[in-house]
Structure 1
Amino acid sequence: MRKTDNLFARLAIFTVGLLIMSLGIVLMIISDFGASPWDVLHVGLYYQFGLTIGTWSILVGFTILGSSAIMMKEWPQFGAYLNMILIGLFIDMYMLLPFFTEPVSWLGKIMMFTIGMVIYAYGMGIYLSAQLGAGPRDSFMLALQEKMGWKVSNARRMMEVTVLIIGWLLGGPVFIGTIIFSIAAGSFIGLALPQCRKITDKILKKRTLDKEIDRSANI
């Protein structure tokens, strides 16, 4: 099945995945138990220069996409731009909800952070399963890997350590959860992605079959 098949359904799955992933991001930030390295940077920029966390996510993503385009001498996939914009919008939307408040107890902080990380992993699994392209940060990671000859793991580690240091210097929320995320997030995503791909493939195959039945009935 070609990626162009069921484009509307893929866009819907892609958007739902980003909506879920953004919820995970916000829960980790609000938990006050730490955030992912990129979100440490976004929050640090927000603390120092204003705007919103979501706006900084978009601006940083735009800068990274531009760098990727220059390095690879080609425009990133459409999904990378959509990813950049929607995640920023969704983050700001969730941050405005009044019932999302920082937990008082340590147990509450840990629970909110853990739930956020699981939701993040499954949201990423869902949006990636739509196969409309990776986000700007992953695009830049692949550009570094190709141009510098590094392993993907080394390129990702270099990126995350760099943005983490910058975010920390800007006052971003570095704490125990940041370390946990850096160590465990890959494993969570590794578990979530195959499950999400199976569900997405079933949905897309069913829609394709339904379309074929409709065409046959109209002949």
Structure 2
Amino acid sequence: MILALGIAMTIKGQLIGIGPWDVLHVGLYQKVGLTIGSWSIITGLAIVLTTAAFQRKWPKYGTWLNMLLLGSFIDLFNWLLPDIHTIPGAIGMFIAGVVIMSYGIGLYVSPNMGAGPRDSLMLLIVHKFNISVKVVRTSIEVIVALLGWALGGPVGIGTVLIALLIGQVVHIAMPQCQRLLLRAAGEPNIEALL
């Protein structure tokens, strides 16, 4: 839910661009119809089925929940949040969205219940072709952004910033989310586990 809120906030701040996968989802929404969240679910399902076929095993249940709930909550928050029509408003919404999105990623990854569809695709390519995560992740983001842009999705400086900086913010958010999870689970010696 938190990840979807961050994504929806960046979509509302789209005057400066949105994340590469969301460029694709918005482009599909504009060309074909349905909703942005529906396209998130549909592309997620295609990726899950593809990676499951290549790995010859079904993903963990967290992957399925991520796929279904993320798209549903993106649509809910896109409906609830106001449209932004000014550059300062878009910048503020975008920055807040990136921070919230990063903590949402940290919270969903920390329990280790399964990577989201897009992360599963990245890991499959990394393991299959022995290429670095950085190269694979960047390549996927660029390809998806270009495809979304060709469909009319909003590309801008925000798209580049998310592609380049989201990992840095997640790097800060992840340990904090792991400590929060362990604290919520009642683990007395949190620092020794991290």
Structure 1 runs not aligned, ≥5 long: 1-18, 208-219
Query: 1:206 Cα shift?
Result: 5.4
In 2, the alpha carbon distance for the partners of 1:124 and 1:143 equals 19
Are positions 1:78 and 2:65 aligned together? Answer: no
Q: In the alignment, which residue of structure 1 is the partner of 2:110?
A: 129
Q: In the alignment, which residue of structure 1 is the partner of 2:173?
A: 192
Contact 2:24 2:153 in 1 (8 A): yes
Are positions 1:20 and 2:5 aligned together? Answer: no
Deviations 1:19-56 (A, max 9, x none): 01100000101112211100100000000000010100
In 1, the alpha carbon distance for the partners of 2:163 and 2:74 equals 20
- Secondary structure, in 3 states, of the residue corresponding to 1:205? coil
Name the stretch that deviates more: 59-68 or 156-165. 156-165
Contact 1:31 1:110 in 2 (8 A): yes
Residues 38-53 of structure 1: pairs in structure 2 closer than 5 A: 38-53=21-36
TM, length-normalised to structure 2 = 0.93
Deviations 1:45-81 (A, max 9, x none): 0000000101000000000011111221111111111
Contact 1:80 1:133 in 2 (8 A): yes
Please say which structure displays the higher CA radius of gyration: 1
In 1, the alpha carbon distance for the partners of 2:101 and 2:51 equals 24
Deviations 1:144-171 (A, max 9, x none): 1111121111111121111111000000
Q: In the alignment, which residue of structure 2 is the partner of 1:167?
A: 148
Q: In the alignment, which residue of structure 2 is the partner of 1:146?
A: 127
Q: In the alignment, which residue of structure 2 is the partner of 1:211?
A: none
TM, length-normalised to structure 1 = 0.82
Contact 2:138 2:163 in 1 (8 A): no
Q: Which amino acid aligns with 1:114?
A: I
Q: In the alignment, which residue of structure 2 is the partner of 1:10?
A: none
Contact 1:126 1:197 in 2 (8 A): yes
Q: Determine which of 58, 66, 69 is the counterpart of 2:49.
A: 66
Q: In percent, how many aligned pairs have the same letter?
A: 43
Structure 1 segments of 4+ aligned residues over 6 angstroms from their partners? none
Contact 2:13 2:93 in 1 (8 A): yes
